[in-house]
Amino acid sequence: MRRRNKGIHAALLSAFFLGMAPILGKQAILSGLPPLAVVALRTLFAFLLLLGLIAAFKRSYLRIYSLGLVGCLLAGAINGTGSLFYYSALGRIDAGVGQLLYSLYPLFVAFWLWLDKQPPSKLTLVRITLAIPAVALLSLGGTHRMDLIGMGMMLVAAALYALHLPINQRVLFDVPAPTVTLYTLMAMSLVVVPAFLLIRPVQLPTTKAMLWPVVGLTLVTFFSRLTLFLGVKHIGGMQTALLGLGELLVTLAFSHWWLHESLTPLQWLGAALLGVTLLLTGLEKPTTNNKPKGGWL
């Protein structure tokens, strides 16, 4: 039970940090940074920060077996590609709309796990069923410009983010969460930094208005990855993803406070329904730490 509670707390912290990402990312883009510059700088800085801390205080976390490293590199490459889609989408659509679409990633997680012969529980299916109308209600009543390309990019980002969770979950059976975080961030950097360098001309933060959102986004990325994989290790990718829907509530709350956006009554109803799906986490049976047999992963 202590292990499960630790996983739930980590997943909720991850949801808070991830909920801040679109706010800070959109702020950086509005300040004049290209989307690819935002994703490259925050990922690289987060990797270097974690590498420095591990090298200074816990070098044992640098050790990883070869197949585990391959899993982290694969998951990081997938998530890095998803990040390119995510921040490119933020350059085209509002942060609130983007996070509403991105919050559908538990549906993709359930699909990937089903392909991996890990069918969701009945309660998980109920929670997913509740999450769908919740997101629909939250998306009603707004005045957002409908950019189909941007919306499509965000859905691709959600699917790729969902795919990297079960891959990392396999590795986390044997590897500490900080180690998985380090090598996943390294692989993400190897994807997003070259993509950024292909931009001509390469643009770096030159003002405080550009720099502080990138610094904030770096810290959010650093802490969200650590807590995300700690949650996946203790309660599994599916439950972490459903708890992570709380990041949508964080985004909406800070959008209201920071960006002075407001919700309609229907959107508040959707937020309440989403809250119910989070509360149902307490009724889920703890996951075992056994490796699943077979599956495409």
User: d(Cα 189, Cα 183) in Å, to the nearest integer?
Assistant: 10
Please report the DSSP string for 61-88 in residue order.
GG---HHHHHHHHHHHHHHHHHHHHHHH
**What pLDDT, on a 0 to 100 scale, did the predictor assign at position 65?**
92
Q: Mind listing the pLDDT tens digit of every residue in the chain (297 residues)?
A: 566 666 677 777 778 888 898 999 988 998 999 999 999 999 999 999 999 999 999 999 999 999 999 999 999 999 999 999 999 999 988 787 788 788 778 778 878 878 877 787 888 888 788 888 877 776 665 555 557 788 889 999 999 998 988 888 888 788 888 899 899 999 999 999 999 998 767 788 888 888 999 999 999 988 887 777 676 665 665 666 666 667 777 887 887 777 676 667 877 787 788 778 767 765 666 555 455 555 655
User: Residues 138, 274: contact at Cβ < 8 Å?
Assistant: yes
User: Residues 51, 113: contact at Cβ < 8 Å?
Assistant: no
**What pLDDT, on a 0 to 100 scale, did the predictor assign at position 59?**
94
User: Residues 36, 87: contact at Cβ < 8 Å?
Assistant: yes
Radius of gyration of the chain (CA): 18
**What pLDDT, on a 0 to 100 scale, did the predictor assign at position 282?**
59
Q: Report CA 27 to chain centroid distance, whole Å.
A: 18
How long, in residues, is the chain? 297
| b (16+ CB within 10 A) / e for 193-220 | bebbeeeeeeeebeeeebbebbbbbbbb
Which bin fits 236, alpha (ψ -120 to 50), beta or left (φ > 0)?
left
**What pLDDT, on a 0 to 100 scale, did the predictor assign at position 47?**
96
**What pLDDT, on a 0 to 100 scale, did the predictor assign at position 212?**
93
3-state secondary structure of 262: coil
User: d(Cα 232, Cα 73) in Å, to the nearest integer?
Assistant: 17
Tokens (6 digits) for 270: 């959707």
Q: What is the pTM of this model?
A: 0.81
| b (16+ CB within 10 A) / e for 242-263 | bbbbbbbbbbbebbeeeeeeeb
User: d(Cα 230, Cα 224) in Å, to the nearest integer?
Assistant: 10
User: In sequence order, what are the residues at sequence separation of 6 or more whose Cβ sits closer than 8 angstroms to the Cβ of residue 214?
Assistant: 28, 33, 38, 41, 42, 45, 205
User: Which residue spans within the chain are E strands per DSSP?
Assistant: none
Q: How far is CA 157 from CA 89, 154, 235, in A?
A: 9, 5, 23
User: d(Cα 292, Cα 297) in Å, to the nearest integer?
Assistant: 10
